[in-house]
Amino acid sequence: MSAHVTANDQPVQSGDLNIATPRYGSAARLLHWAVAVLVLLTWPLGLMIGFAKKDVVSSFYLLHESFGFMILWLMLLRVGNKLVSKAPPHEGPAIERIAAATVHGLLYAFLIIMPVSGFLATNAHGFPLNWFGIFQVWSPIGKSPDIAWTLSAIHEWSAWILLALFALHIGAVLFHHMLKKDKTLYKIL
């Protein structure tokens, strides 16, 4: 997560607290939370596809793939934003800063790998993406049964890795907010 630091350590209101802390810029915060919400919608939809009745499976696929495609584009915007924006300073011991940078880097990587592999897997299985039923997205590989299952496996493994990274990320948020009682969470709110 990265973005512009708001001017002069803009105060963040939290209940009765007035906490002055440098924050990520509004674009970074918006992209962060948009991706978070979409992942929280997309991941369970993908998991439920295997349990859905045959008459609704295509609806689950349509939503899962369409939200996943949105995640890809939002993540590409996040990468661009990260490249041109300044992050607020990171505090804490070196080990925490290294762990945070590693988890964030892996989150970024897998939030791109997962939708790309899912999109290509769908194409390789012979089902081009029909984004929310509005328009068909161009298929860069077309039907390719020889690589379809490999791409599906990459997508599935990426989902589980992403879940583990998400758990680490949430664990770190709780650690900083509840145990260390520092201002880390307020940087992204």
For the stretch 97-138, pLDDT in tens is: 999 999 999 999 999 999 999 999 999 999 999 999 999 999
- CB-neighbour burial class of residue 172 (10 A; exposed 0-12, middle 13-18, buried 19+): middle
CA distance 9 to 74: 26
Cβ-contact 2, 28 below 8 angstroms? yes
Regions of the chain where pLDDT drops below 70: 1-19
- What pLDDT sits at residue 52? 87
- What pLDDT sits at residue 19? 54
Residues in the chain: 189
Closest CA to 189 of 78, 35, 29, 74: 29
Closest CA to 1 of 29, 20, 22, 26: 29
**What pTM, to 2 d.p., does this model score?**
0.86
Q: CA 78: distance to chain centroid?
A: 10
Say if strands 130-131 and 135-136 run parallel, antiparallel, or are unpaired. antiparallel
